[in-house]
Amino acid sequence: MISAIAIDDEPIALDIVDHYAQKVPFLSLEKKFSNALEAIGYLNERPIDLLFLDIKMPDISGIDFFKSLKTKPLLIFTTAYSEHAVTGFELEAIDYLLKPFSFPRFLKACNKASNLVRPTAVTNHIFVKDGVDMVRVDFDEILYLEGTGNYVSFVLKSKKILVRMTFKESLELLPPHDFIQIHRSYIVNIKLIDKLERHLISISGHRIPVSGAYLSDTKERLKSPPITR
């Protein structure tokens, strides 16, 4: 479980983070602060894994606040101002949520945090939003992903899940040693590939196109045994 707090001078913004956090099974939002200075004492006494932090606040900016912390948790900025993105990433923020952000975008940021909170542990799954439900997807169950516009189909061994996210976002959530992009719209589980013939991959009865731009890399990856975890 990831422990977190949120700091924002706008009560509505805090309520949104709280509402979204309640939907994420592996996230515990332990406290909300509308005054950043009040959070300092809390953080000195109770270390957390993750901080959701606004940037433009009275008394002290989120950037200066984070710089002042002796022990720095993982950081996700939540702000209405995009011009601070570069500074945010210079502080090694793991994500930058631009208000108003959607729940799928929030979930993507939380999945990133999940992969970083326990660096010595093996993460073998992610959570995705299937309709109104949060569904755990084990990497070993994924055959391939197909992207269409702002949606991605997770084709599993037993079912298919349609998720609202971009193809690029889905690629960032997958372990690169187990998955490979073979087409601008397809990512496959390299451990489950049955055969590569010309410009087609066979995987559990599915035949998926391999575009010319990815063919050489795909062949090279198939020559190397997949990493076992």
Spell out the domains of the chain, with CATH numbers in brackets.
2-117 (3.40.50.2300), 125-223 (2.40.50.1020)
% of the chain surpassing 70 pLDDT: 91
Residue 110 confidence (pLDDT): 93
Mean pLDDT taken over the chain: 87
Q: Is the dihedral of CA 25, 70, 80, 57 positive or negative?
A: positive
Asked whether the predicted pLDDT for residue 74 surpasses 90, the reply is yes
HSE at residue 165, side-chain half, CA atoms within 13 A, is: 27
**Could you report the per-residue pLDDT of 85-137, keeping only the tens digit for each?**
556 556 788 899 999 999 989 998 998 898 887 554 457 888 888 887 888 99
% of the chain surpassing 90 pLDDT: 49
**Could you report the per-residue pLDDT of 27-52, keeping only the tens digit for each?**
999 999 999 988 988 888 888 999 99
Nearest residue to 91 (alpha-carbon basis) of 117, 46, 61: 61
Asked whether the predicted pLDDT for residue 145 surpasses 90, the reply is yes
CA atoms of 131 and 192, how far apart (whole Å): 27
